[in-house]
Structure 1
Amino acid sequence: MTTQHVTRSTLLPLQGAFNFRDMGGLRAADGRTVKPGLLFRAAELTGLTEEDHLYLKPIGMRTVFDYRNRGEAEEKPDPAIGEAVNVRVPANEAAEHAPHVTMEQMLASGHHKAFTEDMLEKLYVQLPVGNASYKKLMALLSEPETNLPLVHHCAGGRDRTGVGSMLILMTLGVPYETILEDYLYSNDTLQGFNRSMFEAASKYVSAEELQALGEAMLLRERYLKASLRSIEQAYGTFERYLAEEFGIDESVRARIQAYCLE
């Protein structure tokens, strides 16, 4: 049975995790759609409740892929989700061995002022090329029979996870315009997450700084475009990028698509 295609991934009704979405239903350029129940994206998972685990159990998750650095993962460790294998490869390698700074410490020290639109755009430029985290993600995707269903996540499920989602969906042949719309959907699905963060921030920063932080937190089209532009500048085409960065040639890509599309 073919799923009616949608332009945004489906938010799961979980109580202990924000932005946990089934990427199924998105339509590829050839008219097929991504199968539901195979590929998921999410924010941090440490708060999943017993009821959430019961909800997720029928999915039969095989892989939990974590983009966070060591400090983030130690502060909020991934739970066991059924029999899934937990894999963590930091997308921001530079932060892997840096002292972990909590949100409260960052706000109290004023380091949040470095969190700007330009800083985020630079991050998106750096993420997709020569990154061990995405190389591992795409290696897992290249063996879907063994590794899917899979959920990939970071802290908010927006930046590092947003780039990973773009790579997965472009590999499956989903048009960039659809991927962009789904990426920007996190501005809606993370409203509660951001609200709780801003409430905590209000103890440390002025109303003006809080408003500026809120503006900086919004996902923007130019961020994801910066990642795509970085790929095109390095490789010329996405197809060459897949082949040379990840070893995904036309035959491997066709096999992935055959498994993940309907």
Structure 2
Amino acid sequence: RLLRSANPGLATATDIAQLQRFNLDVVIDFRTDGEKKSAETPFAHVFNWIADPIMVGNLSQLSVLSALQNGTADDSRAFMIAFYRDFPVRYQAQYRRFLQLAEKNHTILYHCTAGKDRTGFASLLLLSALGIDHADIIADYLESNRSNTTGNAQLQEQVKKLRLPKDVMAPLLSVEAAYLDAAQQVIDDDHGGMQHYLERVLGIDVARIRDNYLETI
């Protein structure tokens, strides 16, 4: 009932039929307008697709990659960590609205472009609200490294003209536990821990979310 995804907008008719079996109440799109394509219209006609963009631009934009042309893998990794540290501070409104959908017991597919960063942090909040162990949250997050290989290969082809070394690109295209842990550290240091952040900062009813999605044994 809660699905983390890369961009579903270019789904085939077969893909759409498969997604319809989930009886989705809402599809939340964290992408900005510049990341979208006109070819996504068929998907929009089928699902309740709501845009709630997070950040200006995205990691695949040439402006970001150009800035790293003369950088190192450590520079890319530092960029990602700083990026994740912004999530719990700058985008509280978007993540509050996302979790409010879970409060309402909706079946949700939520996505960005690659399904790993903006949705990765969304999953940290959602799974934490559900009481999932942090190690399991990290393991779920790291699954992107296995499932994004095709999309990453396509992106590498697009940015070949920038002549970025593969080791500089790798931290941008993959996920590392240190990225999500950087966001968690901000929550712990500045907001009194995850429970306080969810309930007091975002104003989320954690107990209601657990009642909605967890079975009592």
Name the TM tier (shorter chain).
0.7 to 0.9
Task: Work out which structure has the larger RCO, using CA pairs closer than 8 Å and 6 or more positions apart in sequence.
Answer: 2
Paired position in structure 1 for 2:11: 48
- 4+ residue runs of structure 1 moved beyond 6 angstroms? none
Structure 2 counterpart of 1:178, from 127, 136, 149: 136
* Residues 87, 188 of structure 1: alpha-carbon distance in 2 compared, 3 angstrom cutoff: same
Q: Bigger shift: 56-65 or 154-163?
A: 56-65
TM-score by length of 2: 0.86
Paired position in structure 1 for 2:214: 261
CA contact (8 A) 2:5 2:112 kept: yes
Q: C-alpha displacement at 1:218, in angstroms?
A: 2.2
* Residues 102, 75 of structure 1: alpha-carbon distance in 2 compared, 3 angstrom cutoff: farther
Q: C-alpha displacement at 1:230, in angstroms?
A: 0.8
Instruction: Give the partner amino acid of 2:7.
Output: E
Structure with greater proportional helix content: 2
* Residues 74, 205 of structure 1: alpha-carbon distance in 2 compared, 3 angstrom cutoff: closer
Deviations, residues 150-188 of structure 1 (Å, cap 9, x unaligned): 011001000001000110000000011000011111011
Structure 2 counterpart of 1:223, from 179, 188, 193: 179
* Residues 112, 44 of structure 1: alpha-carbon distance in 2 compared, 3 angstrom cutoff: farther
Instruction: Give the partner amino acid of 1:118.
Output: A
Cα distance in structure 2, aligned partners of 1:242 and 1:50: 38
* Residues 253, 186 of structure 1: alpha-carbon distance in 2 compared, 3 angstrom cutoff: same
Deviations, residues 72-131 of structure 1 (Å, cap 9, x unaligned): 13567472374x422111221xx17xxx9975x559x83453781111101100102352
1:80 and 2:24 aligned: no
CA contact (8 A) 1:106 1:112 kept: no
Paired position in structure 1 for 2:81: 121
SS in 2 for 1:152: strand
Q: C-alpha displacement at 1:229, in angstroms?
A: 0.6
Q: Bigger shift: 132-141 or 70-79?
A: 70-79
TM-score by length of 1: 0.72
Instruction: Give the partner amino acid of 1:257.
Output: R
Query: Across the two proteins, how many residue pairs are aligned to each other?
Result: 209
Structure 1 counterpart of 2:54, from 91, 110, 129: 91
Q: What CA RMSD, in Å, does the superposition of the two structures yield over aligned residues?
A: 2.5
Cα distance in structure 2, aligned partners of 1:76 and 1:54: 17
SS in 1 for 2:9: coil
Structure 2 counterpart of 1:134, from 77, 92, 95: 95
Paired position in structure 2 for 1:247: 203
Structure 2 counterpart of 1:210, from 136, 144, 166: 166
Instruction: Give the partner amino acid of 1:256.
Output: I
SS in 1 for 2:21: helix
Structure 2 counterpart of 1:153, from 103, 111, 116: 111
CA contact (8 A) 1:68 1:89 kept: yes
The unaligned stretches of length 5 or more in structure 2 are: none
CA contact (8 A) 1:53 1:81 kept: no
Paired position in structure 2 for 1:188: 146
The unaligned stretches of length 5 or more in structure 1 are: 1-37
CA contact (8 A) 1:67 1:154 kept: yes
SS in 2 for 1:87: strand
Paired position in structure 1 for 2:66: 110
